[in-house]
Amino acid sequence: MKTILVTGGAGFVGSNLAIRLKRDLDDVRVVGLDNLRRRGSELSIPRLREGGVEFVHGDIRNREDLDVSSRVDLILECSAEPSVLAGYGSSPEYVVQTNLAGTLTCLELARRRGAGLIFLSTSRVYPFSRINALRHTETDTRFVLDEEQDTPGVSSEGIAEGFSLEGSRSLYGATKLASEIILREYVDMYGLRAVVNRCGVIAGPWQMGKVDQGVVVLWVARHIFGGPLRYIGFGGEGKQVRDILSIEDLYRLVRLQIDDLGGLSGEVFNVGGGRENAVSLRELTELCQEETGRRIEIGREPETRPADISVFVTDTKKVRGRTGWSPVDRPEKIVAEITAWIRNHGEILRPILC
């Protein structure tokens, strides 16, 4: 392997994966491509260059921008319009063009170059109405999935790959699922070596968290800098739950998949922190208070927004069984690392995260 192309290379996931790959594979050329549309992504350019990663300003929707080398051996498809709210009350054009047409451009590059491809999809491919209809118990701080469910593909361990895909999932989720389907056709038709990771909530330093994406960083930043926070939906109590995956744990999985891409080709994996790393917003608030030493007022908005979900925990049994991987970092560690990062770079981060 001589050249790795990381799309979305200046984004949170792409930049962190690219820098770690170059660190561990020094003789491999690593190229990060990004259109720098998301505010804060420009801060990754010096980090990439310091880490030996080549940065290319380009857009995955343009075939010419992807022709960064006559040889590409692996593509990490990390690019996306990541907001689940994309298209609600606005034009759907960007999310569809980037998340679907852009992925097709990457698949075509992989086909032409004979490259392998690791596609970062999302847990949002699962329909929100079906998730919200699952049986769960309400405790003092969170919603908890019941062991007994009428729907296949779910247990107290979380949502597995066999969970039904029938229903609405937002344009963000729909474009990612459509990309998955096309990718698997490329695997069958052209012998493409490719893996799909349906990632849950990923968190860590250099994520520019907003209300619609990057909630852990947003929560920590508001505890440090101040600013409004609200428990939105499901009664406004902050009991909705997601499992958290550190960027370092995701990188460890990607390395395992790179080493066995042929053996794993065509597989779809649910990738997340799992039940051990699940927290509610209320519990996340407590972690932020403990780590930052600050308490802030949290507003309440009882009405549930479109596409919001009450509890999603990733069942990682399949990926653990196939690769031997399991997440190591706990939410307490992730929050501590984010806190230290924000405090160490407060001057440049305050205008973006506030």
pLDDT in tens, 274-285: 999 999 999 999
- 49 and 176 share a domain? yes
Dist CA 348 CA 263 (whole Å) = 43
Residue numbers of the domain that contains 184: 1-126+169-199
- Does the pLDDT of residue 1 top 90, yes or no? no
Report the pLDDT value the prediction gives residue 53, as an integer from 0 to 100: 98
pLDDT in tens, 179-221: 999 999 999 999 999 999 999 999 999 999 988 789 999 999 9
Dist CA 2 CA 198 (whole Å) = 27
Q: What is the pTM of this model?
A: 0.97
State how far the alpha carbon of 264 is from the alpha carbons of 78, 125, 189, 199, 202, in Å: 19, 21, 17, 17, 22
Please give the residue that has the higher pLDDT: either 265 or 68.
Answer: 265
Alpha-carbon 13 to chain mean position? 7
- 45 and 192 share a domain? yes
- 178 and 151 share a domain? no
CB contact at 8 A, 11 and 41: yes
Which residues touch 81 (CB under 8 Å, ≥6 apart)?
A: 94, 95, 98, 99, 172
CB contact at 8 A, 313 and 156: no
Report the pLDDT value the prediction gives residue 17, as an integer from 0 to 100: 98
Q: Specify the CATH number for the domain of residue 225.
A: 3.90.25.10
Count of other CB atoms within 10 angstroms of residue 184? 18
* 266 occurs within a structural domain: no
pLDDT in tens, 123-150: 999 999 999 999 999 999 999 999 999 9
Hey, which bits of 123-208 come out as E strands?
136-138, 143-145, 154-155, 158-159, 194-199, 201-203
**Mean pLDDT, residues 88-114 taken together:** 95
